[in-house]
Structure 1
Amino acid sequence: MNFNQLKSIYPSAFLTDDSNNDQNYLTFPYQNQWIHFDKKQLTSSESKLLHLILNKETDIKNPENPQSKWYDFLIENNSILPAESGNYRIIQFNIKKKDTNFNKKLWLNAFKSFFENVEAAFFINDHYGLLIQHYSGYSLNQDETIGILQTLDDDFSIKTKGYIGQYWSISLEIKDIFNEEQTIFFNQLDKSKQVFSLPDIALSYYASEALFKSPIIQQLKEELISHSEIKELITAIWLNQGNISLAAKYLYIHRNTLQYRLDRFYEESGLSLKNRDDLLLCYLLTI
């Protein structure tokens, strides 16, 4: 189904070059762009149908990568379980800024080599793919995975983001769980650090709809917008768990410069980003 056909059914649908990550929209990768649908205009059944259609549409079968039972189960909606027992997690990856010389097969083999007990790994489309890992006692943590991607990014001159799913026991429900993890990944792609997981974004992702309905939060948001660069500042401190030195490094500014901005924001708003309750409130205002 092409964009014009979808547009005739959902007139408010639109395309962008990035994921946009507005919680009010249901977002999917579409060819080399992103397609967005207004959630308010979708029923639950329509949302599920769009997941089925667009996950299928984005599929570009790559003859370089052998098909697997996991591909058939997750992408082709085959009802046969890809394994008989065990716990598995799905690591999603999305690659940007690749040039025409980028070798997907070479990158995928390098990426797989860092993980133990890989059941399957494949690209779903030109930039997005999955790695499925079987739990056997030890797994690379988030920081280690970030280090891997940073190394590969330097080697291949690309920019990669990843989402580490939870381990789940094998069952038919894994397909629904994957669909939700996929939606989370696409919607949080430009809001989170290079590699993230459910605990990193659960608060912002699941609280966003309730916050949107609050007149108090909306008023505070309007006031927050009047402070230039504050959203970036809040995000940096939140992602670095209140550590001022790490936040300054994240923003590529001197620690004293960051301290000055924090003091100025406190004088203007009465909110101290050094206080964890104030920081939490300010972070919620940015989502």
Structure 2
Amino acid sequence: MLAKELLDWFPEAQISDQPIEKLGYLTLPLTSQQWILLEETNLTEREKQLIALLTQQEQASSLNPWYSYLIEGKGQAPQTFKKIQLVYCHLSYYQQENLASWLDMMQTLFPNCQTVLQVGVQDYVFILQQDKYSSVRSILSDTIEAVEYDFGLRLSIMLGQVWSQTGYQALSDLIQAERDLFKAWWRQGHQGVHTFSQLYLWSLGEGLVDHRFIKDYLRQLILDQDQIQEIILSLWENSAVLTKTAQQLYLHRNSLQYKIDKWEELTGLQLKELTDLTLCYQLILPDIL
């Protein structure tokens, strides 16, 4: 729910970029970066009970060590991992009685799901451990319509980037940039399942998101991998045709395929898929022009 809509209902409310404890007031999380401050004397008992329910859900997530590590950038990961991927879900419409069942079902779709966090009133994040990479694109794309119908939902979903634990950037900074990207997208009313690459390229023309952390991280990752920059450029020049690319790079086709597969395992980016290839090509443009 947008802050503007709530202010229409509660004109005396205050919007804050951080949670505030103030005597006689209730604080309700709007998104991961905004809270609304409501004076208790202006609320009915029913409104107070609803706010208590919503804030209780948010507090439960904040006690999760993954929340502290990934969302707040505090402490250590609750378990060791090499790679991680977040799946972001925004519910633009849902029936409260179906919510728990939907969350259980979503976790069964991801065998590598470590936990689920609530990061806003209508926002959930599923944390997938991707040490042994498993693509979830087809799983969600094939089931989204049935899920919405069965559980009475309207969903906006972004499959996040696969992130590694490296010294390039603080992981929480990368996650925050990713969440900002997703938020800018669903706030414009978009729905369905989309990948990180699709939303990243969409946002370049919108000018709504700071890409600096993500761009620097992925560009450095490309530079550090053997021949990946050359492979990206050659695939782009040859319309992602592997045979022509292998010939141009003097590589056996199987060797080229192996390097492409290793890159996907590391990042989740499929260089034979034109959207992912476009993202990677855009990242290396400063180095080849």
Structure 2 length-normalised TM: 0.49
